[in-house]
Amino acid sequence: MKKPRAIFKPYHQNQLMALPPTFDELISVSHPVRVVNQIIDQINLDSILNQYKGGGCSSYHPRMLLKVLVFGYLNNIYSSRRLESAIRENIYFMWLSGMQQPDHNTINRFRCDRLSGVIKDVFSQVVLLMVESGHLDLQSVYTDGTKIESFANRYTFVWRKTVNRSRARIESQLEELWNYAQSVAKEELSDNSPSDFSATDPQAVKDTIERIDEALRGKDVDKKTREKIKRAKKNWPNAIERYNRNEQILQERNSYSKTDPDATFMRMKEDHMGKGQPKPGYNVQLSTHNQIIANYTIHQNPADPLTLKPHVEAFEKLYGILPKELTADAGYGTEQNYQYLQEKGIVAYVKYPGFDSEQRQQKASSRSGKTPINYCTTQLKKQAQSFLLSKKGIFHRKKRSVDVESVFGMLKENKSFRRFKLCGLQKVSIEFGLLALAHNLAKLSKILQMEDFFRLFYYLSYFSKHRMALLKLSL
């Protein structure tokens, strides 16, 4: 029997169309790019527009560039060069840009310069739109933090302990040289001898070494000491100047990276060497509700307890209000934080260290018939315990890990964002702001798709249930 001939669809690569399709026709109604486009069209961009001086050549519109950047971060495209390629090759980016083709330098300048100091304003406007639409509640938030690695070289570290130790070594050796010089040439050094040998002023150290060298000229001094004085004159003043610069950069921190001075060395869960080695990074704090980011702050301090107050202050500055309830894990449960939240009128569903083990022991004591042990020694802890053990507290404790920790999982796993692509606290804040915007808009897109699905399901169910009555009405 003869085999049937295969049938193929017509394929004419160079076929012309009388009415060629637009990109809008090629993009589905429910695609996330439409949410990005619609939301960013609604926000006020005066804060960005004020960054432009005016005059000169025309510039690409900031609304278009912002859409491209946010949609790029939504699709895990963080490089300005990759965004440049996407604008030329991807129909979604072509639609957003209106077929304009800014190069990677333009995109990066807009990100680093034009969004500097204003990204939080853009972010807050989007959050308030989501509050207005009923998808986000600022009254109750879940707070947690994570460490994200800097783009800096992992091995270019400066430690405060090392700086202090090196400075102390110079001070000790300078005093030893002075004492030696006095034993050999006391008369030459009798006037204006230094009261202390603190190595903080490079010029003072240099003057002291020169006085020692001058006093020992023509004296019977061993070769080793001569060499030491020579090295001291050459190296110590410059070293002191370097230590002063280090301390100026360090300020209250214990470390920083030479290739990203704003980054602090922190221990992270993601350890490429598996040895718990600190890496340069930033402490990112989030407050979320329904897995939508309501507030974010970037900190150089690795300790979570010290970040809560500035994080809440940033929330108040952003929206002019404070949340009524805040839920966090035991990493934030300090007396100072309890006191601060109480003063601000915020109900704190915040565990204190040992809360979970305390509850296990309480249950074990109850089962064995023994008198439960009360671990709360202060009034603030007792109040925190009463909040945590209330019906509402139990609800919030269960929801916290699902809400805020899931967001970190999405950012690090789904979006593969485990390391910043830019250096410096200011640029890192811009980058995370774009990431937070992208996350929120992606979340909103999914919520809207689900709402459309349930709305359609409801209409179909209603029609199926009442179809006979509807048909009679139509007749």
Residue 473 forms part of a structural domain: no
Give me the chain's average pLDDT, please: 88
Q: What is the mean pLDDT of residues 343-348?
A: 95
Whether the predicted pLDDT of 454 surpasses 60: no
For residues 109 and 131, state if they share a domain.
Answer: no
CA 44/CA 318 separation, integer angstroms: 15
84-93, 195-204, 302-311, 435-444: the lowest-pLDDT one: 195-204
**Poorest-confidence range of 175-179, 215-219, 262-266, 401-405?**
215-219
Bridging pattern class, strands 347-350 and 325-328: parallel
pLDDT of residue 470: 46
Q: Cα torsion at 411, 414, 416, 418 (round to 10°)? A: 40
Whole-number Å distance between alpha carbons of 119 and 111: 9
pLDDT in tens, 285-298: 999 999 999 999 99
In a domain, 470, yes or no: no
Assigned domain for 369 exists? yes
| Rounded mean pLDDT, 232-246 | 94
User: Cα(280)–Cα(75) distance, rounded to whole angstroms?
Assistant: 26
Both 297 and 224 in a single domain?
Answer: no
CA angle 358, 362, 366 (to 5 degrees): 170
Domain boundary among 115, 142, 174: 115
pLDDT (average), residues 411-426: 93
pLDDT (0 to 100) of residue 179: 84
Instruction: Give a yes or no: residue 180 inside a domain.
Output: yes
- Enumerate residues 6+ apart whose C-beta is below 8 A from 266: 147, 278, 279, 280, 281, 283, 302
Q: How far is residue 419's CA from residue 151's CA, in Å, rounded to a whole number?
A: 6
Residues 178 and 278 in one domain: no
- Summarize pLDDT for 22-45 with one digit per residue, the tens: 888 889 888 999 999 999 999 999
Classified as helix, coil or strand, 7 is: coil
Residue 196 has pLDDT above 90, yes or no: no
Do 273 and 316 share a structural domain?
yes
pLDDT digit string (tens) for 150-175? 998 888 899 999 999 999 999 999 98
- Residue 253 contacts residue 281 (beta carbons within 8 Å): no
Q: Quote the pLDDT of residue 376.
A: 64
Same domain, 273 and 419: yes
Phi, psi of 283 (to 5 degrees): -95, 110
- Residue 218 has what pLDDT? 73
Region of 182 on the Ramachandran plot (φ > 0 left; ψ -120 to 50 alpha; else beta): alpha
CA distance 338 to 120: 27
Percent of the chain past pLDDT 90, that is, above it, reads 64
Asked if 323 and 346 count as a contact pair (C-beta separation under 8 A), the reply is yes
pLDDT value at position 304? 93
Cβ proximity of 154 and 267 under 8 Å: no
* Domain count across the chain: 3
Q: Confidence band (pLDDT; 50, 70, 90) for 180?
A: confident
- Inform me whether the pLDDT recorded for 375 exceeds 50: yes
The share of the chain scoring above pLDDT 70, in percent, equals 88
Residue 243 and residue 303 share a domain:
no
- Do the domain assignments include residue 50? yes
pLDDT, tens only, 67-86: 999 999 999 999 999 999 99
**Tens digit of pLDDT for each residue in 210-227?**
888 888 887 778 888 889
The pLDDT of 353-375, averaged and rounded, is: 73
Domain boundary among 193, 227, 257: 257
What CATH number does the domain containing 379 carry?
Answer: 3.30.420
Give the DSSP H/E element, type plus range, for residue 148: strand 140-149
- Cα separation, 87 vs 65, in Å, equals 11
Half-sphere exposure at residue 418, Cβ-oriented, CA atoms within 13 angstroms: 11
Nearest to 384 by CA among 334, 420, 431, 344: 334
Residue range 162-191: average pLDDT?
84
3 assigned to some structural domain: no
* Residue 228 exposed, middle or buried by CB count within 10 Å (0-12, 13-18, 19+): middle
Residue type, 64: M
Which domain, by its residues, includes 332? Answer: 126-154+261-443
Instruction: Assess whether 175 and 189 both reside in one domain.
Output: yes
**Where among 115, 145, 168 does a domain terminate?**
115
pTM of the model: 0.87
Query: Are residues 51 and 75 located together in one domain of the fold?
Result: yes
Angle at CA 417, nearest 5°, toward 132 and 75?
Answer: 60
Q: Are residues 330 and 243 in the same domain?
A: no
Which stretch of 98-102, 141-145, 338-342, 376-380 has the lowest confidence by average pLDDT?
376-380
The kind and range of the H/E element at 288 are strand 279-289
Torsion angle of C-alpha atoms 169, 173, 174, 177, degrees rounded to 10: 180
**Two structure tokens written together for 6:** 């295969």
Pair type for strands 292-299 and 279-289: antiparallel
pLDDT at 458 over 60: no
Same domain membership, residue 163 and residue 150: no
What are the tokens at 32? Answer: 């996330």
Instruction: Give the pLDDT mean for 354-362.
Output: 83
> Is residue 472 domain-resident?
no
Same domain flag for 148 and 174:
no
d(CA 346, CA 341): 5
Q: Are residues 299 and 406 in the same domain?
A: yes
Would you say residue 462 lies in a domain? no
With tokens 């519109």, the residue in question is: 61
